[in-house]
Structure 1
């Protein structure tokens, strides 16, 4: 999903990993994977992105991410896991409904959406939902949409791993899980990139939305 559409790492992995290991153990694994896959995708996307829109989004998100991380460090793990699951379910339903934001993109709104995304990034590992609904509203071609999302996620990937590291959440178990899982993602991302070039969006969307609904349901009801 990430290689194909430019998003999908966090909204699938955050609920699943939170169910497997609880949020304070699962979210740091996902954040490190997000950082590395962003570095993998960024060189091929940066030239196609609309930096006038994306950089204010990313800057506001980077500032708000540490505050969101405070929620991750202090909130009840079970309540946070169920919030993650419910949020992903709601996001999947919104995407399936076809709803998008269709207004203008002034700087003030870019900063507000970026702030909301940063709070979500720090607390749940997921910055994508508000940004995806916001950016996919435009009339740009799929290539521009995908590049915008890749640049946004890359712009906050580094700052997002700092609070868990300082808070002691990135321990030996996290590094071990990352070592096992990262090769799978390293292989899968280029496959997704190739699929983006040959498979129409109309065939991919039902599968992608189905995966979101299953992942959210597992975290909410598991």
Structure 2
């Protein structure tokens, strides 16, 4: 999903890893994977992305991410896991409904959306949902949408791992899990990127939405 559409890593892995290991153990592993994936995809997206929109979004998100990390450290893990699951379910249903934001993109709104995304990134590992719904409303083609999302995620990927590392959440167990999962992700991302040029969006979309809803339901009700 991430290689194909430019998003999908966090919204699938955050609920699943939170269910398996709890948010404080699962979110740091997902953030480290997100960092590696962003490095893989960023070079090809730089020339296509709209920096006028993406840089304010990413900058605001980077500033707000540490505050979100404070939520990760302090909120009850079970409550946070269920919030993650419910949030992913709502996001998946909104995508399926076809709803999008259809207003303009002034600087103030870019900063507000970026701040919300940063709070979510630090606390749940998921910065994508508000930014995806916001950016996909534009008239740009799929290639520009994908590049914008890739560049946004890359701008906050490094910031998002600082708090878990300093807070001791990236321990040996987390590194072992990362070592097991990362090779699968590293192989899958370029495969998805190639499929973007082959598989029509109309065939990909139902599958992707089904995966999101299943991941959210697992974390919410599991």
Q: TM above 0.5, one fold?
A: yes
Q: Cα offset for 1:166?
A: 0.8
Partners of 2:116 and 2:85 in 1: CA distance: 18
Partner of 1:199: 199
Partners of 2:181 and 2:203 in 1: CA distance: 27
Q: Cα offset for 1:42?
A: 0.2
Partners of 1:99 and 1:127 in 2: CA distance: 19
Partners of 1:73 and 1:39 in 2: CA distance: 27
Partner of 2:183: 183
Partners of 1:214 and 1:34 in 2: CA distance: 20
Say whether residues 1:127 and 2:127 are aligned partners.
Answer: yes
Structure 1 residues 17-48: Cα deviation after superposition (integer angstroms, max 9, x where no partner): 00000000000000000000000000011100
> Secondary structure in 2 aligned to 1:48?
coil
Partner of 2:115: 115
Q: Cα offset for 1:9?
A: 0.1
TM-score with structure 1 length normalisation? 1.00
Partners of 1:74 and 1:57 in 2: CA distance: 26
Structure 1 residues 83-106: Cα deviation after superposition (integer angstroms, max 9, x where no partner): 000000000000000000000000
Say whether residues 1:169 and 2:169 are aligned partners.
Answer: yes
Partner of 2:66: 66
Partners of 2:45 and 2:89 in 1: CA distance: 28
Partners of 2:160 and 2:122 in 1: CA distance: 6
Partner of 1:79: 79
Partners of 1:75 and 1:9 in 2: CA distance: 23
Query: What is the Cα-based RMSD across aligned positions, in Å?
Result: 0.3
Counting only pairs closer than 5 Å after superposition, residues 77-156 of structure 1 correspond to structure 2 as 77-156=77-156
Partners of 1:144 and 1:199 in 2: CA distance: 17
TM-score with structure 2 length normalisation? 1.00
Moved over 3 A (4+): none
Partner of 1:6: 6
Please list every run of 5 or more consecutive structure 1 residues that lacks an aligned counterpart in the other structure: none
